[in-house]
Amino acid sequence: EFNKYWEGEIDEDLKKKVEPKSIMEQGIVKARYVVKSFRTEGGKPVYTGLPYKLVRASAIIDAWALGVLMFTLLTGETLIPSTRDDDCASGNAMHALYSWGEQPEKEDEVFKKINDDAARNLVWTLLKPKAEERPTVAS
């Protein structure tokens, strides 16, 4: 379904950017991940044939983005390995994002990179795995 939806796109760089990223183990594809995106025709989004539901922007997603930005500013590194265009660098990077919160010991190691306790607690709150537990500007 994914390839069929994107076959009409002429921008090869865009197609490469949005193509599913795989995780391989011993030469076998373990999982595939994709960033939910869409193509346009004549400047208008094409929804017909889209193989997933898009996620609307929200204050909860903004809180996550702020947490990622703060982590980068406080540590000088990216939270998830990414390209200079801020795209996930690999299938492994996408898997780390997808499974965020499932390995607390790994996240603890990540947050230890933030030296200030108050800053660490704020970033942790903004990056809660469950979206409903994240604050918004209103809260």
Structure confidence at residue 114 as a pLDDT band (50, 70, 90): very high
pLDDT at 111 over 90: yes
Is 37 within 8 Å of 53 (Cβ atoms)? Answer: no
Distance separating the N- and C-terminal Cα atoms of the chain: 40
Rounded to two decimals, the pTM is 0.81
Reduce the DSSP state of residue 88 to 3 states and report it. strand
Is 101 within 8 Å of 133 (Cβ atoms)? Answer: no
Most confident among 60-64, 121-125, 130-134 (mean pLDDT): 121-125
Structure confidence at residue 101 as a pLDDT band (50, 70, 90): very high
Q: Tokens 């391989």 sit at which residue?
A: 24
